[in-house]
């Protein structure tokens, strides 16, 4: 791997990460019967979209930033905005998803957004941004459906990626240095996340007693065979070792999705599984629905391992069914 690319992989990614992370046939009539309430009876579902950067879009590969620019990084190609256009008058959407959000930022905390990092290694020129309210403030008694995609930041997705890149650059693709660093912490992080996630769902139910609550999981970031990823490739996972990629899939991503599904089901909600059917479209697959550390080298465009426009379109198709009650 050329020295300048190695430096970009480690230093550039660390700085950027420190700054931030078939059309369904369900009918409107069926959706209206499912949720009730004044908005649905009028033919328009009141929908609140909550979540982190995987909902907001953030990266340039998912389009332009929506107005007003508040530092949360919502983009025109993110799945809530795709569905806003596709569904038209069938939904009244309030999209308050925000890059970097944790479960507590959804349920209770004000969040200080950092905006969208700009190359080379720059920060959003409009930063700093004012704090935004807890996302749950967008939910009320008249809300018909709530979608929420959050949890990765509670486990430290961005920090894990940054550390795996740096540790992997030192180990030259030998061993599992990131697994060795993080494995002892994961049980505690997952237990804390479970507590916070359950409480968040309870908060949303209290605020919107009649709403349908839909939790959205995370897609297939790492292929089943981690050896498909090319060590040192900035368009993939840069210098994360093959062993650490396999660990991240099995020990971080899959337990996270399982936790979200379990807590959602236990509270009577709906879980949208993006993981199973995005297999074969990971960062390292030819037809990839997620971009790696970079979307492109020339021009330099960051992705920091996020869904691209195809990944957001896939999520939109899955979430659409849940929004309409199918």
Task: Report the C-alpha gap between 92 and 81 in whole angstroms.
Answer: 11
Lowest mean pLDDT among 26-30, 163-167, 246-250, 292-296: 26-30
Residue with the larger pLDDT of the pair 68 and 175: 175
pLDDT digits (tens, 9 = 90+) for 72-105: 999 999 999 999 999 999 999 999 999 999 999 9
Sequence-separated (6 or more) residues with CB below 8 Å from residue 80: 49, 55, 74, 93, 95, 97, 147, 319
Res 38 pLDDT > 70: no
pLDDT value for 170: 97
How far is it, in rounded angstroms, from Cα 309 to Cα 284?
16
pLDDT per residue over 188-200, tens digit each?
999 999 999 999 9
Q: What percent of the chain has pLDDT over 70?
A: 86
**Average of per-residue pLDDT across 60-80:** 96
Residue 121's pLDDT is what? 59
The per-residue pLDDT for 309 is 98
Dihedral sign computed on CA atoms, order 75, 136, 272, 193: positive
More confident residue, 280 or 24: 280
Q: What is the pLDDT of residue 95?
A: 98
**pLDDT of 130:** 96
- Confidence band, pLDDT 50/70/90 cuts, at residue 141: very high
Q: Are 56 and 152 in contact (CB under 8 A)?
A: no
Quote the pLDDT of residue 265. 97
Give the residue numbers spanning the domain of 289. 3-323
pLDDT band at 133 (very low <50, low <70, confident <90, very high): very high
Looking at residue 117, its pLDDT comes to 75
| 3-state SS assignment for residue 200 | helix
Q: What is the model's pLDDT at position 99?
A: 96
What is the structure's pLDDT at 120? 58
Q: What is the number of domains present in the chain?
A: 1
pLDDT, one tens digit per residue, over 268-317 is 999 999 999 999 999 999 999 999 999 999 999 999 999 999 999 999 99
Q: φ and ψ at 199, to 5 degrees?
A: -65, -40
pLDDT of residue 42: 60
Q: Which of 55, 130, 62, 124 is nearest to 96 (CA)?
A: 55
Q: What are phi and psi of 219, to 5 degrees?
A: -80, 180
CATH code of residue 38 = 3.40.50.1110
Alpha helices in the chain (DSSP H): 3-7, 13-19, 28-35, 37-41, 53-56, 79-87, 103-107, 152-155, 157-171, 177-182, 186-207, 242-247, 254-266, 309-323
Residue 7 in this model has a pLDDT that exceeds 80? no
pLDDT band with cut points at 50, 70 and 90 for residue 43: confident
Average pLDDT over residues 156-169: 96
| C-alpha–C-alpha distance, residues 231 and 122, integer Å | 25
Answer yes or no: is pLDDT of 17 > 90: no
The predicted structure's pLDDT at residue 126:
87
Which pair of tokens denotes residue 285?
């697959």
Helix (H/G/I), strand (E/B), else coil: 42: coil
CB 96 within 8 A of CB 49: yes
């Amino acid at each position: 791997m050329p020295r300048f690319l190695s430096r970009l992989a480690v230093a550039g990614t660390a700085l950027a990460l420190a700054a931030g992370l078939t059309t369904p046939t369900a009918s409107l009539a069926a959706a209206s019967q499912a949720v009730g309430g004044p908005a649905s009876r009028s033919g328009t579902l009141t929908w609140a979209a909550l979540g982190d950067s995987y909902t907001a879009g953030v990266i340039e590969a998912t389009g332009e930033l929506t107005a007003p620019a508040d530092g949360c990084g919502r983009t025109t190609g993110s799945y809530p905005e795709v569905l806003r256009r596709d569904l038209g008058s069938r939904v009244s959407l309030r999209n308050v998803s925000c890059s970097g959000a944790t479960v507590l930022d959804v349920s209770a905390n004000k969040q200080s957004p950092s905006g969208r990092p700009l190359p080379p290694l720059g920060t959003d020129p409009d930063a700093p941004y004012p704090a935004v309210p807890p996302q749950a403030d967008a939910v009320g008694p008249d809300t018909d459906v709530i979608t929420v995609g959050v949890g990765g930041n509670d486990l430290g997705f961005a920090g894990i990626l940054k550390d795996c890149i740096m540790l992997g650059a030192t180990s030259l693709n030998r061993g599992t240095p990131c697994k060795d660093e993080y494995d002892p912490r994961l049980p505690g992080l997952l237990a804390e996340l479970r507590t916070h996630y359950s409480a968040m769902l309870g908060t949303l139910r209290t605020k919107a007693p009649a709403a349908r609550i839909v939790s959205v999981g995370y897609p297939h970031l790492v292929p089943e065979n981690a050896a498909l990823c090319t060590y040192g490739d900035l368009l993939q996972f840069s210098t994360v070792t093959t062993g650490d990629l396999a660990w991240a899939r099995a020990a971080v991503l899959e337990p996270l999705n399982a936790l979200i599904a379990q807590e959602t089901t236990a509270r009577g909600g709906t879980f949208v599984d993006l993981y199973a059917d995005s297999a074969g479209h990971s960062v390292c697959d030819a037809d990839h629905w997620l971009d790696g550390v970079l979307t492109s080298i020339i021009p330099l465009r960051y992705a920091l391992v996020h869904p691209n426009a195809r990944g957001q379109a896939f999520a939109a198709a899955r979430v659409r069914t849940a929004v309409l009650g199918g």
